A and B are shown apart, each in its own frame.
Chain A
Amino acid sequence: MSDQKQKIEIGDGAAIPDPEDKGLISAWWIALIGTVSLLIILPLLKPDPYARILSFVPDGILVTFKVTIASISLALVIGLLTGLGRLSKNRFINLVASLYVEIVRGVPLLVQLFYIYFALGRIVRVPDIVAAVIAMAFCYGAYMGEVFRAGIKSIDHGQTEASLSLGFNRRQTMAYVVLPQAWRTILPPVGNEFIALLKDTSLVSILAVADILRRGREYASESFNYFETYTMIALIYLLITLVLSRLIANMEHRLSHYERR
C-alpha cells in the first residue's frame, strides 16, 4: 500500500525548511547567516544608533511573544471547535461554524482589530493586550478551523470504522484515533499559521501594545533614525521566524516517526 504523505498548504507563513536538506547552502542557511551577521556587525561598526536600537527594542520582543503564544493557543482551541463544527452533521452547528469562517475570511485583520479594540471596547473595557489577543485569535481561529477540517478529512475512513467496530463512540474515535493522526498532517500548516500570526502581531502596535514594532516606532520618532530602526526591526523579525521555522520542521520530522519503515 502506498502511503503518500499528504501536505496541506495554507497560509502565508515563512517557508518551513525541509529537515532532510542538510546541505549548508540552502536559502534558510544563507538567510540565517546573513541576518545574524548583520545583527552583530551593524552595532559593532556603528554603535550609534544600531547598538542603541538593539538595547531599546527587545522589551517589545517579550510582548510580541506573549501576544503570539496567547493568540495561537486560543486560536488552536477555536480552530479545533470550528473544524469539528464544519464537519458536524448537526445543521445548526455546521452553519454557525461556516458563518464564522466566512465572516472572518471576508474582513481584513486590521479592521477586525480596530473593531474589537475600539468598537467593542466602548461596550466592555478590557486591557489592551487582552483585546489584541482576542482579535488575533478570533481571526486566526477561522483559518485554523480550515486546517483542522482538512487534516481530519485526510484520515482514511477505515480508521474510523475500525475504531467504531471495537466499540468506541464517535467522540472517543476522534480523540484516540483520528486527531492523533490528523495532528501530523495538521502540524506543517499550523506551523505556517503560527509564523504568519507572529508577523501579524506587528499590527497590534497600532493599538497601545508595546510590541517590537511599537518600540521601534517610539525610538524612531525620538531619534529620527527611521532607516536604521526599521532595518533592525526587520532583522529581528526575520531572525525569529527563521529559528521558528527550523524548530517546526524538526518537530514535524519527529512526529512522523510511525511512517518510517
Chain B
Amino acid sequence: MNAADPIIKIRHINKYFGSFKALDDVSLDVNLGEKVVVLGPSGSGKSTLLRTINRLETISSGSIIVDGHDLYDPDEDINRIRMELGMVFQNFNLFKHKTVLENLTLAPIKLKKMEKGRAEAMAYELLDKVGIRDRANHYPIQLSGGQQQRVAIARALAMEPKIMLFDEPTSALDPEMIGEVLEVMITLAREGMTMVVVTHEMGFAREVADQVVFMDGGAIVEEASPDSFFDHPVHARTRLFLDQIL
C-alpha cells in the first residue's frame, strides 16, 4: 500500500434490504488521521454505510478496501481486519456479564494472547484516559449511560485499532451526559486517530471534522469541509436539513 493511499476506500457500493435500496452508489475515501463526520436525516443510510466498513452489514455490489485489505476477498480474514477497526455503538453493547475491566481485557487476552497483567495495566491506562478508573470493578448495569459509552470507547481502543467507527454514540444518552462522551472523542481526534463518526452533534462536526459527508436517500449528496458545509451548503436538500436541525 502506498502511504498516500486512503486507509478506507469505498467504491460504488450498493446495498438492498429486500427491494429497498439502502445505499445507492456510494463512494468515499478516508485518509489516515482524517476525521469524517457523516450527517443526514434518519433512514438516509448513514449508519448502514458505517456498518459496511467492518462488514457488520454486507453490500450487494461495489468494493471496500480497508488498510489495503479487500473486505470481500475470500482470502482475507475478516476477523483480523476487524481488529484494526474499533467500533462504538449507539447502545454501548458492553458485555453485561463482565466487569468494566474484563470488558477491556477480554479481546486483548483472547485475541492478541496478551498476558493478563499487561492487559489490565493497559486497561487501567485507558480507563484513566476516559476518566472512569474508579469503576473498573463495576458491572455495566451499575454505570450511567455516559459512563457506559466511555467504557465502550475504551474497550474498542484496547485492541489498538487504526480506525475508530462511531455509530450515533450520543443518541441514546440523556442530554447531560453527551458532553462527557464528546470530550473523550475530541481528545481522541486530537491524538490523530482516524475516525468515521455518524452523529447528529453539529457542534462536534464543526469542531472536529476534516470532511463532512451529507447523506440522503442512501446516497452521498454533499461532501465538504465543515466551514463550507455549514456556511455555504450547495445542495437544496443539505440546506433544508440544516434549516431543520439548527
Contacts and interface: CB of A to CB of B under 8 A. Distances in A.
The yes or no verdict on A and B being binding partners is yes
Interface of A: 1, 3, 156, 158-159, 161-169, 172, 176-177, 180-181, 184, 257-261
A165 B82 contact: yes
Contact of B142 (A169, A177, A261): A261
Contact of A166 (B91, B96, B111, B141): B111
Secondary structure at chain A's binding surface: helix, strand, loop or mixed?
helix
B93 A159 contact: yes
B89 A158 contact: yes
8 contacts: A159-B93, A161-B56, A166-B107, A167-B80, A167-B83, A169-B79, A172-B110, A181-B96
A252 to B, nearest CB: 15
B96 A167 contact: no
A161 B87 CA distance: 10
B230 interface: no
Contacts of A158: 89, 91, 93
Given A158-B89, A176-B110, A167 B95 contact: no
Contacts of B36: none
A168 B155 CA distance: 13
B79 A168 contact: yes
A13 to B, nearest CB: 25
- Most chain B beta carbons < 10 A, residue from A172, A257, A258: A258
B89 A162 contact: yes
A218 B88 CA distance: 67
A259 B145 CA distance: 16
B168 to A, nearest CB: 13
A166 B83 contact: yes
Contacts of A259: 96, 139, 141
A177 B111 CA distance: 14
Contact of A165 (B56, B95, B110): B56
Given A167-B80, A168-B107, A162 B85 contact: no
Interface residues of B, number: 29
The 3 closest A-B pairs by CB, nearest first: A162-B93, A167-B83, A165-B87
A167 B97 contact: no
A261 B107 contact: no
B220 interface: no
Interface string B215-230: 0000000000000000
B96 A161 contact: no
Contact of B141 (A3, A162, A177): A3
Given A176-B106, A176-B110, A165 B94 contact: no
Nearest to B106: A176
Given A159-B96, A181-B97, A258-B97, A164 B56 contact: yes
Contact of A261 (B97, B111, B141, B155): B141
A186 to B, nearest CB: 13
B138 to A, nearest CB: 10
- Most chain B beta carbons < 10 A, residue from A156, A162, A259, A261: A162
B159 interface: yes
A176 B56 CA distance: 19
A166 B80 contact: no
A208 to B, nearest CB: 45
A168 B82 CA distance: 9
Nearest to A159: B93
Interface in B145-185: 145, 152, 155-156, 159
A89 to B, nearest CB: 13
